[in-house]
Structure 1
Amino acid sequence: MKSKSNIHKEQNACKAMELVWPAIVNTTTQEASVANVMITALRE
């Protein structure tokens, strides 16, 4: 059986991931679109 402090830490980690994850996804999509623009520019 887990102690309450461990469960609390896991809940905090989940909340932190929920906050951080959208930012990570946003930056990766921005980088991907920038890469696409650069590739298209190179092709032309």
Structure 2
Amino acid sequence: MKKYAVVFEKAPNNWAAYVPDLPGCVTTGRTLEETRRLIRETG
């Protein structure tokens, strides 16, 4: 399985995540835990 770096950013009301090496691989979630789960499902 190939590994990619994920960037997490905290916004005032949610979290965002994206994978710089995979254009379009982005997600947002209400919590960091939710965002981590969602970015795994997206990739």
Provide TM-score, normalisation by structure 2.
0.30
Which structure has the highest strand share of the two? Answer: 2
Higher RCO structure (Cα 8 Å, ≥6 apart) = 2
> Which of 1 and 2 has greater Rg?
1
Give the structure-1-normalised TM-score.
Answer: 0.29
